[in-house]
Chain A
Amino acid sequence: MNRLANPLAPRRALPEKTRQIKEWTRELFKLDDAVVVAITELACRDEDCPDIETVIGIMRPGEKIETRRIHKPIADVERLDFAAWTEPPS
């Protein structure tokens, strides 16, 4: 039996890295504890979507969720990727 690498294997969660990205987001946007930050790695199979990206949802109470994207997997996100976000999205 000679098994192939399994492309369907469940993706491992990276809780440490996720926490780090949340900290960077909170720091940059000066978010208090009432704001929830959601981090998701999307491998959308839709043709119009990038192969893989990290989506950051900033969930302020009573406000529409603000979304930020980094076109790389969670594991590869760096502090430098936040550098371009000095202005809020239009």
Chain B
Amino acid sequence: MSAPTATQTPVTVLTGYLGAGKTTLLNRILSEQHGKKYAVIVNEFGEVGIDNDLIVDADEEVFEMNNGCICCTVRGDLIRIIEGLMRRKDRFEAILIETTGLADPAPVAQTFFVDDEVRSKTKLDAIVTVVDAKHLLGEIDQAHEAQEQLAFADFVVLNKTDLVSAEELVAVEARIRRINPTAMIKQSTRCDVPLDQVLGRGGFDLDRVLEIEPDFLDGDHDHEHDDHVTSFSLVTDRPLDPRKFLPWVEMITQRFGMDMLRMKGILAFDDDDDRFVVQAVHMLLEGGHQRAWKKNEPRVSRLVFIGRNLPKDIIEDGFMKCRVKPERIAALSA
């Protein structure tokens, strides 16, 4: 999840529930002049209206490296296809993967962090999820796949906005935010979003963690609802003790990783002038120091969790215990 190197080919994953408009966006990316040639991995050849000999069919072969552990499950077909594509690396600059409307994004994302060959040759740039504004609210409570696709998203294309009223649009956007407070959301009709905003996002770069910081991350914003996937954020302006926080976040990831779809955070450690950032996909957890805190920037620690039935009370209690004691702050400022 570190910054890409010159030799790594960026990969964008397009997800979205059935009929949301993924193929429309894919065809736009393939047909418009943006200076980049893409190799494309799709599920349905026939849906792509562009003649491109770098389109490859995927068959969603799941590779469980440890029996049943979702965190050790990747997509075998993608490993095979990428190995083949890399023999023709001179013919494209980036890779697009279109998943089926029912695909689980976790094994797709994990393929890019687990397999060594794939990891060294490619770099997961972002997960882009296309949403049908007209049908989302009616479908999402029953469609766990749709919720998980939103949970994993770095960028949400809120499509078909011309088919709903302004009030409905507010409700749809609020529903998306409840699932994923950190993704960028762009409204569109026929997926007419600026492509330079969709591509090259660096959604998994540690130095861009929580680039989107919506206002509601600044407080207690949990909601009472019956969603399959929910999110919450933890915030404190008291510095964290890294000797407590680092083992705690590893323990939390181990204990709740199966249900933790994504986690992102920016943290202020005691006696440390640089921001520390963390990011996880299930149990794949990485973190490191980033830039220095700016002079007038509040040194606030934020952790955002997106997952299935995560026990906020337990996680919050542990997080707050990682703060340095008030006496220590008083001693430092004396």
**Chain A residues close to B by CB (< 8 Å):** 1-4, 6-10, 13-15, 18, 36, 38-42, 44-49, 55, 57, 59, 65, 67, 74
By beta carbon, the residue of chain B nearest A19 is B117
**Chain B residues close to A by CB (< 8 Å):** 1-2, 61, 63, 65-66, 69, 71-72, 74, 76, 79-80, 83, 114-120, 206, 242-243, 246-247, 249-250, 253-254, 257, 271-273, 278, 283, 285-289
Q: Let me know if B254 and A46 touch, CB within 8 A.
A: yes
Q: Let me know if A45 and B254 touch, CB within 8 A.
A: yes
Known: A45-B257, A59-B76. A38 touches B271 (CB 8 A): no
Other-chain contact of B119, A4, A13, A47 (Cβ < 8 Å): A13
Known: A13-B116, A44-B283, A45-B257. A8 touches B80 (CB 8 A): no
Q: Let me know if B80 and A59 touch, CB within 8 A.
A: yes
Residues of B within 8 A of A38 (CB): 63, 76, 79, 115-118
By beta carbon, the residue of chain B nearest A55 is B65
Task: With both chains docked as a complex, state the minimum distance between the C-beta of A53 and any C-beta of chain B, in angstroms.
Answer: 9
Known: A45-B253, A45-B257. A36 touches B80 (CB 8 A): yes
Q: Let me know if A4 and B243 touch, CB within 8 A.
A: yes
Q: Let me know if A2 and B271 touch, CB within 8 A.
A: yes
Q: Let me know if A3 and B272 touch, CB within 8 A.
A: yes
Instruction: Return the 7 tightest CB-CB contacts between A and B, nearest first.
Output: A8-B287, A45-B254, A13-B120, A45-B283, A18-B116, A55-B65, A10-B2
Other-chain contact of A45, B247, B250, B288 (Cβ < 8 Å): B250
For the A-B complex, the count of residue pairs with Cβ-Cβ distances under 8 Å equals: 105
By beta carbon, the residue of chain A nearest B82 is A36
By beta carbon, the residue of chain A nearest B249 is A8
Which secondary structure dominates chain A's binding surface? loop
A36 to B117, CA, bound (A): 11
15 new A-B contacts, CB < 8 A, other than A48-B69, A59-B80, A65-B61, are A3-B242, A6-B246, A7-B246, A9-B286, A10-B286, A13-B116, A14-B116, A36-B79, A36-B83, A38-B117, A42-B65, A46-B71, A55-B66, A59-B76, A65-B76
A74 to B249, CA, bound (A): 25
Other-chain contact of A39, B63, B66, B76, B115 (Cβ < 8 Å): B115
Residues of B within 8 A of A42 (CB): 65-66, 72, 114
Other-chain contact of B246, A1, A2, A8 (Cβ < 8 Å): A8
A7 to B67, CA, bound (A): 26
Task: With both chains docked as a complex, state the minimum distance between the C-beta of B103 and any C-beta of chain A, in angstroms.
Answer: 18
Q: Let me know if B273 and A57 touch, CB within 8 A.
A: no
Interchain Cβ contacts under 8 Å between A and B, 7 examples? A4-B242, A36-B79, A38-B63, A40-B115, A45-B285, A49-B66, A57-B63
Known: A8-B278, A13-B116, A18-B116. A44 touches B69 (CB 8 A): yes
Residues of B within 8 A of A13 (CB): 116, 119-120
Known: A40-B65, A42-B66, A46-B283. A57 touches B76 (CB 8 A): yes
By beta carbon, the residue of chain B nearest A74 is B116
Task: With both chains docked as a complex, state the minimum distance between the C-beta of B16 and any C-beta of chain A, in angstroms.
Answer: 28
Q: Let me know if B287 and A6 touch, CB within 8 A.
A: yes
Residues of A within 8 A of B115 (CB): 38-40
Other-chain contact of B1, A7, A10, A15, A44 (Cβ < 8 Å): A10
Residues of B within 8 A of A2 (CB): 271
